[in-house]
């Protein structure tokens, strides 16, 4: 799945436990009639993906939905969901492309009428 929006917040990487579990949170605001603030977590080596992004940047984030079940000490079953990111792409301009941006349409001159002399200059 993918979510698109503008970066609202990028948290610092946090380390948990003795095993060095790393987690970093990103909040993006969707651009729709009723914008949503979506918190996406990046874990372990994926936390580094956010190093090249800044607040205010438009991005597309590839995500996985995760869910788990937990039974508390009183025997009650609880369910938790999380959204985990695994790829982030900049959506501004031609980011990630080696091609130069296309000039606006009004920058082109209209083509002249084709005359008969131009018609016979094919090499075959």
Domain count, the chain: 1
Nearest to 95 by CA among 58, 65, 122, 121: 58
Record the pTM: 0.68
Percent of the chain with pLDDT over 70: 74
Please indicate whether residue 30 or residue 110 has the higher confidence score (pLDDT): 30
SS3 19: coil
SS3 77: strand
Give tens-digit pLDDT for 71-118: 999 999 999 999 999 999 999 754 444 444 555 555 555 555 555 555
Give tens-digit pLDDT for 33-64: 999 999 999 999 999 999 999 999 999 999 99
CATH of the domain at 35: 2.40.50.140
Record the tokens describing residue 54, joined without a space: 């800044």
Residue 27 lies in a domain: yes
Residue 74 lies in a domain: yes
């Amino acid at each position: 799945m993918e979510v698109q929006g503008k970066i609202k917040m990028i948290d610092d990487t946090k380390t948990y436990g003795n095993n060095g579990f790393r987690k970093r949170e990103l909040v993006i605001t969707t651009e729709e009639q009723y914008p949503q603030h979506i918190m996406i977590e990046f874990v372990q080596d994926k936390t580094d993906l956010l190093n090249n992004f800044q607040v205010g940047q438009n991005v597309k984030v590839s995500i996985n939905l995760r869910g788990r079940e937990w039974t508390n000490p009183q025997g009650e079953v609880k369910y938790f969901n999380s959204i985990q990111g695994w790829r982030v792409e900049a959506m501004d301009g031609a980011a990630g492309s080696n091609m130069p941006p296309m000039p606006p349409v009004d920058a082109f001159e209209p083509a002249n009428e084709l005359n008969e002399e131009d018609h016979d200059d094919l090499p075959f």
